Amino acid sequence: MDEQKLLERITVNPKMFGGKPIIRGRRLAVEHVLGMLAAGDTPETILQGYPWLGKEDIQACLVYARRVVGHERVEPLILDTGT
């Protein structure tokens, strides 16, 4: 899966986590996944803890982080909250 397709998994909902990037509109922030990886959790452990999560979601978090650190423009999908 190319990077742009992966980044489509990262969304922003102003009503969740203060508008921080989240995964596929769910209540799991990108920073949380990155924190688990930084703490030494394996992708397999994370996937066990979040059954709805896919390997591509974890990869998307890493791509997102690389682009942010590299000062590349990242435009996550903003979800329409209906209000």
- Per-residue pLDDT tens digits for 56-72: 999 999 999 999 888 76
| CATH (residue range 3-78) | 1.10.10.10
Band of residue 74 on the pLDDT scale cut at 50, 70, 90: low
pTM of the model: 0.83
**DSSP labels, the chain:** --HHHHHTTEEE-TTSGGG-EEETTSS-BHHHHHHHHHTT--HHHHHHH-TT--HHHHHHHHHHHHHHHTT----PEEPP---
Contact between 76 and 19 under an 8 Å Cβ cutoff? The reply is: no
